[in-house]
Amino acid sequence: MYCFGYKSKNHLFKLHKDLQLVLGEAIHYVDFSIIESDRDKDTQDRYFNEKKSKLKWPNSKHNLKLGQVKSDAADILPYPSGWPNKDMKKWAQFAYVIGVIRGIAEQMYKEKKISTRLRFGFDFNKDGRLFNDRFIDAPHVERGA
């Protein structure tokens, strides 16, 4: 069984309860880290300028709104892996881990253990097909989609 390291636990604590429950369950089945939760204005705008995000501050689910204390989005990194770029094996590892997380999330939603369905950066338009969106953000998991 896998478990989160110190940095992942810190990010997990900053996430909405739905994400905490799903990712906390998923780590028992697949190995991954949570590499990001909430983002400040400088980081969000830098990611936008670098084309790593389609949204400026404060429109990302990573950005905390007034009165909000937990982030509605996380970025994960599967093990063994690295950033996918052109390496299809690394894309496959992301797809596998996200598939496990998605299955757990759907089951938890059906059992009313979480309040909203999750959406993933492989399938922002939620049509069930991978890689047909204009923007692919493999590490991204968000709630309230």
Domains and CATH numbers, the chain: 6-143 (3.30.1380)
What was the pLDDT predicted at 117?
95
Confidence of residue 140 (pLDDT cuts 50, 70, 90): very high
pLDDT tens sequence across 53-104: 999 999 999 999 877 899 999 999 998 776 666 666 677 888 899 999 999 9
Nearest-angstrom CA–CA distance, 60 and 53: 8
Nearest-angstrom CA–CA distance, 31 and 50: 28
- Tell me the pLDDT of the chain averaged across its residues: 91
Nearest-angstrom CA–CA distance, 134 and 125: 10
**Residue 101 pairs with which residues in a beta bridge?**
none
